[in-house]
Structure 1
Amino acid sequence: MIDPKTAPLGILALRVTTGALFLVHGLIKLFVFTPAGTAGFFESIGLPGALGWLTMLFEIGGGLALILGIKVRLVSLAFVPVLLGAAVFGHGSAGFNWSNAGGGWEYPVMWAIVQAALAALGDGPYALAPTKRLTA
């Protein structure tokens, strides 16, 4: 049974926490690794360098959207393939455990599942731009 008093707070916590983590990851790519370095890393694992730029921008913009509660279902759903791609291309060869050298694939897979759950839950009542509900 869903507790209608605490479920909105749970959605808010999930939305803001994951949004903040994506924002930080994107800003690290921007300011620490630099866009050129991020593109170079993507190329080193066999992906187009432009995908590094897109990932960085999506992490920053998508993270902000989740924090603010804008298009949460769409943004969360869009993060799922990005995270699964990170699991396969960025962390797949490192094995399962996140503490392995290079980070394991289970961490991005867990975040993909979290984003799928958030897409199913929706933005919650504490969103800047709540999604309109479809009625039957």
Structure 2
Amino acid sequence: MKINEIMVTLMRVVLGIIMMVHGITKFQMGLENVSGWFASIGIPGFLGYFVAALELVGGILLIVGLFTRYVSVLFAFMLIGATITVKLPGGLLGDGQGAGYELDLALLVISLYFAGATVRGFGLDQLLFRKKEQ
């Protein structure tokens, strides 16, 4: 067991937990409310449903380490969109009215790591899709 694999696993699981909790929160708020909020800020309302499902299901997939690369690419696109459309005007640390984009930026960089990394830690990807050594 390598320390790199342990740390990468920890990083992937924490990213998954954060995203899953964000998804759960959206479901608890009510998807109609999320859709309405998206529409109120100029984003097509149907994307609220997609984002909530992506955060919840994608978070779970990252926790167990399944389809890590694909989920991470989707998270990266989502985080770029959220930063540009919602968070950027508030600045890095926020403007007193709302949160800044510091968390989104950190999550984006972690997602980009997993989108391109060859080492993803321990998870189902490793068990199911690892090439057999000859």
Instruction: Give the TM-score range, shorter chain.
Output: 0.7 to 0.9
Number of residues of Structure 1 aligned to a counterpart in Structure 2:
129
Please, which runs of 5 or more residues in structure 1 have no aligned partner? none
Task: Kindly provide the amino acid, as one letter, of the partner of residue 4 in structure 2.
Answer: A
- Give the alignment partner of residue 11 of structure 2, picking from 1, 11, 14: 14
Counterpart of 2:83?
87
Counterpart of 1:64?
60
Counterpart of 2:26?
29
User: In the aligned structure 1, how far is the partner of 2:54 from the partner of 2:64?
Assistant: 15
- Give the alignment partner of residue 110 of structure 1, picking from 98, 106, 111: 106
User: In the aligned structure 1, how far is the partner of 2:56 from the partner of 2:62?
Assistant: 10
Task: Kindly provide the amino acid, as one letter, of the partner of residue 9 in structure 1.
Answer: I
Q: Which has the higher contact order (CA 8 A, sep 6+)?
A: 2
Please, which runs of 5 or more residues in structure 2 have no aligned partner? none
Counterpart of 1:5?
2
Counterpart of 2:43?
47
Farther-moved stretch of structure 1 (95-104 vs 5-14): 95-104
User: In the aligned structure 2, how far is the partner of 1:98 from the partner of 1:128?
Assistant: 37
CA distance 1:111–1:99, shift in 2 (3 Å)? farther
User: In the aligned structure 2, how far is the partner of 1:70 from the partner of 1:99?
Assistant: 37
CA distance 1:113–1:89, shift in 2 (3 Å)? same
- Decide which structure has greater helix share: 2
Task: Kindly provide the amino acid, as one letter, of the partner of residue 40 in structure 1.
Answer: G
User: In the aligned structure 2, how far is the partner of 1:100 from the partner of 1:120?
Assistant: 35
The percentage of aligned residue pairs carrying the same residue is: 29
The alignment's C-alpha RMSD in Å is 1.9
Task: Kindly provide the amino acid, as one letter, of the partner of residue 101 in structure 2.
Answer: W
Question: TM-score, normalising length from structure 2?
Answer: 0.87
